[in-house]
Amino acid sequence: MTEIAKLVDQQHAHLAVLKQIILKEKGALGDQNADLLLSLAEQKSKCLQELKANDDLLANHSDKSLLTEQIELSHKLAAAKEALAECKELNAQNASLIEMNLASLNRFAQALQASRNATTLTYNDKGKTSTFSSLGNDLKA
């Protein structure tokens, strides 16, 4: 096996690891497991760095023309690109989950704030709830 073929196989391995991390991340988001999410974020960052380093090696390899000339290598490269596209799609789904969780947390925080001090609740110019402890204190009637 040539060196460039090994690099392509390493890229496949890195992408498989990345996919597993992203799938675990989705589960942690569903379970709202913050500790696991932090751990997975570190793993994901490391894996992405390894992917980038391996990609740089492939891009600068003296035999990179073999990636398009040899059928077996071109098929492996196409499979790697498909795996990367799948990882990107899964990651986008996780980003949507994160946005929904943040929106839910914001609504929950506003509900808590409203129930804590309903008599002083008001809204700012952006539509967010806020409380002013002086609201209504200067009324004389």
What does the pLDDT look like over 12-26, one tens digit per residue?
Answer: 999 999 999 999 999
CA distance 23 to 28: 9
* Positive or negative torsion for Cα 56, 60, 64, 68: positive
Closest CA to 70 of 1, 139, 141, 140: 1
Q: Summarize pLDDT for 58-117 with one digit per residue, the tens.
A: 999 988 888 888 999 999 999 999 999 999 999 999 999 999 989 988 998 888 877 776
Q: Which residue has the tokens 């539509």?
A: 127
Q: How far apart are CA 105 and CA 102, in angstroms?
A: 5
Q: What is the pTM of this model?
A: 0.75
- From the CB of residue 79, how many other CB atoms can be counted at a distance below 10 Å? 14
Distance of CA 120 to the CA centre of its chain: 38
Residue 125: exposure state from Cβ atoms within 10 A (0-12, 13-18, ≥19): exposed
Banded model confidence at residue 54, pLDDT cuts 50, 70, 90 = very high
- What are the two backbone dihedrals, phi and then psi, of residue 60, each rounded to the nearest 5 degrees? -100, 5
